[in-house]
């Protein structure tokens, strides 16, 4: 066993919050088999998750058989999903398969109460990703490459070259599978892997080190912008609207970062982000544009935010708040407070806001905060067992209800 390799993975995992169990996505290839072996060697309880895409017929079945065999040999749980290709929607099949794969991994994570999902992207994958992003004109966000942690996804092998994993498995006599499609240079990533990168390295021996240094710089710069964007959002977005003129005073890159923060970073293209910025800049009332799962709509000097699809109206009957309560688009996490309930807004509701005398109609509060009528019923109204309103989402808290901030975390998904 290569102790240097083991220490590299251990160091990468040391940057994560402590965890007791991890789901490992194992395809049967050297990368994922090596990852599962290293995590097990380090003493982590693992659950092996395998997706049989069925793209290669008998070869795909052989991949599944190997993964099941290794899981049995290692005495770990193995969960397998087979995909019916006939049920896939026409279009970008590769992207749809990726989404199915990660949804499956997330289900396994929840079912087995694991903290993370480990995937086997390694150093070679990172270099390929950075170069591919540069080739299509990506900004700093794309050039920083893949993150070692992204939500519940972790990538402990980003500092390890593929050949080191192959050498490890050969030394330990652990079998793995080779997918011939990985050598098809008609596919963009394979073209970079087998043709462009070797040609570059022949003229640029320090390619990997230089790109990783650039990636680290890009990471530091984007983190600064993310911080500025989050501060602006917390200060300027109350409910689901923000002031158009205040937004336009910001630097162009910060405007983009705010949109990334509001929508999420997955599968957002710069062109779509620029279209929303143009919408805001022109300020034509009634015009709207969808970005990711959100719709941005101009209403005079306000930009209204809403989710795509029909409004989600929730019942006004109070429901008890348990440890983890989902309320429409909101997560309510109770850390031990008793007698808390959630319901939707009803006309006539009043709140005794902290820092104010008397009470205020929620109707008036929503108007002050410029919350669209269609979204007012979706905001969770927190009450006690005496039906007194303690909080309006995370927008306003009642007098003498400050303790809630310690026991109840209220956040929008």
- Express each pLDDT in 143-173 by its tens digit: 889 989 988 999 999 999 999 999 999 999 9
Q: What is the Rg, in whole angstroms, of the alpha carbon atoms belonging to the chain? A: 25
On the question of pLDDT at 90 being above 50, the answer is yes
Comparing 64-73, 314-323, 398-407, the range with the smallest average pLDDT is: 314-323
In terms of Cα–Cα distance, which of 306, 259, 305 is closest to 278?
Answer: 259
Total domains in the fold of the chain: 3
Contacts of residue 232, defined as CB under 8 A and 6 or more positions apart, other chains included, come to: 250, 254, 258
* CATH code of the domain containing 279: 3.30.465.60
On the question of pLDDT at 294 being above 90, the answer is no
The structure tokens 């652990």 sit at 174
On the question of pLDDT at 91 being above 80, the answer is no
pLDDT for the residue numbered 265: 64
Please tell me whether residues 78 and 173 are part of one structural domain: yes
Tell whether 97 is covered by a domain.
yes
Q: How far apart are alpha carbons 382 and 281 in whole angstroms?
A: 37
Please tell me whether residues 79 and 195 are part of one structural domain: yes
On the question of pLDDT at 309 being above 60, the answer is no
Please tell me whether residues 256 and 354 are part of one structural domain: no
Tell whether 219 is covered by a domain.
no
Residue 256: which pLDDT band, with cuts at 50, 70 and 90? very high
Mean residue pLDDT of the chain comes to: 88
pLDDT for the residue numbered 314: 57
Looking at per-residue confidence, does 61 or 328 come out higher?
61
Residue 263: which pLDDT band, with cuts at 50, 70 and 90? confident
CA distance readout (Å), 197 to 63, 145, 214, 393? 28, 16, 17, 51
Residue 398 has what DSSP assignment?
B
What is the number of residues in the chain? 413
Q: Among 263, 283, 307, which residue terminates a domain? A: 307
Comparing 11-15, 285-289, 374-378, 383-387, the range with the smallest average pLDDT is: 374-378
CA distance readout (Å), 315 to 4, 306, 321, 351, 384? 57, 19, 14, 19, 17
Residue 77 has what DSSP assignment?
E
In terms of Cα–Cα distance, which of 155, 198, 188, 117 is closest to 31?
Answer: 155
Where is mean pLDDT largest: 16-20, 69-73, 234-238?
69-73
Tell whether 64 is covered by a domain.
yes
Q: How far apart are alpha carbons 173 and 241 in whole angstroms?
A: 59
In terms of Cα–Cα distance, which of 49, 54, 50 is closest to 88?
Answer: 54
Please tell me whether residues 69 and 161 are part of one structural domain: yes
> For residue 276, what are the domain limits?
237-307
- pTM metric for this prediction: 0.67
Please tell me whether residues 181 and 327 are part of one structural domain: no
Tokens of 21: 């169990």
Quick count: other Cβ atoms within 10 Å of Cβ 60? Answer: 20
Please tell me whether residues 407 and 348 are part of one structural domain: yes
Q: How far apart are alpha carbons 303 and 242 in whole angstroms?
A: 5
Instruction: Answer whether 66's CB lies under 8 Å from 177's CB.
Output: yes
Tell whether 162 is covered by a domain.
yes
Q: Among 248, 283, 307, which residue terminates a domain? A: 307
**DSSP string for residues in 135-199:** HTT--HHHHT---SEETTEE-TTTTS-HHHHHHHHHHHT---B--GGGG-TTSHHHHIIIIIHHH
Please tell me whether residues 198 and 325 are part of one structural domain: no
């Amino acid at each position: 066993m290569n102790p240097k390799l083991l220490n590299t993975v251990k160091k990468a995992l040391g940057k994560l919050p402590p965890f007791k169990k991890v789901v490992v996505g194992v395809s049967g290839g050297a990368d994922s088999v090596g990852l599962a072996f290293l995590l097990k060697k380090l003493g982590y309880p693992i659950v092996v998750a395998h997706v049989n895409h069925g793209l290669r017929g008998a070869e795909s079945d052989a991949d599944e058989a190997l993964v099941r065999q290794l899981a049995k040999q290692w005495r770990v749980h193995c969960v397998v999903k087979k995909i019916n290709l006939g049920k896939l929607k026409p279009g970008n099949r590769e992207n749809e398969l990726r989404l199915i794969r990660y949804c499956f991994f997330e289900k396994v994570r929840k079912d087995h109460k694991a903290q993370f999902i480990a995937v086997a992207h390694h150093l070679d994958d990172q270099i390929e990703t950075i170069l591919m992003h540069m080739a299509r004109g990506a900004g700093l966000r794309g050039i920083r490459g893949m993150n070692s942690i992204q939500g519940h996804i972790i990538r402990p092998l980003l500092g390890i070259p593929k050949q080191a994993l192959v050498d490890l498995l050969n030394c330990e006599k652990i079998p793995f599978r080779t997918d011939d499609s990985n050598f098809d240079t008609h596919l963009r990533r394979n073209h970079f892997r087998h043709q462009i990168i070797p040609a570059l390295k022949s003229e640029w021996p320090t390619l990997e080190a230089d790109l990783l240094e650039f990636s680290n710089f890009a990471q530091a710069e984007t983190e600064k912008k993310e911080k500025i964007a989050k501060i602006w959002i917390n200060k300027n977005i109350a409910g689901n609207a923000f002031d158009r003129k205040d937004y336009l005073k910001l630097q162009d890159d910060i405007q983009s970062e705010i949109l990334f923060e509001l929508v999420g970073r997955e599968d957002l293209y710069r062109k779509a982000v620029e279209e929303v910025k143009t919408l805001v800049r022109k300020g034509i009332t009634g015009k709207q544009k969808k970005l990711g799962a959100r719709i941005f709509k101009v209403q005079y000097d306000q930009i209204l935010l809403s989710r795509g699809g029909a409004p989600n109206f929730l019942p006004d009957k109070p429901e008890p708040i348990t440890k983890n309560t989902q309320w429409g688009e909101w997560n309510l996490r109770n850390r031990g407070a008793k007698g808390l309930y959630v319901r939707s807004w009803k006309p006539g509701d009043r709140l005794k806001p902290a820092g104010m005398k008397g009470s205020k109609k929620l109707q008036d509060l929503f108007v002050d905060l410029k919350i669209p009528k269609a979204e007012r019923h979706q905001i969770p109204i927190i009450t006690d067992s005496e039906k007194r309103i303690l909080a309006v989402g995370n927008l306003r808290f009642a007098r003498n209800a400050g303790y809630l901030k310690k026991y109840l975390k209220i956040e929008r998904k």
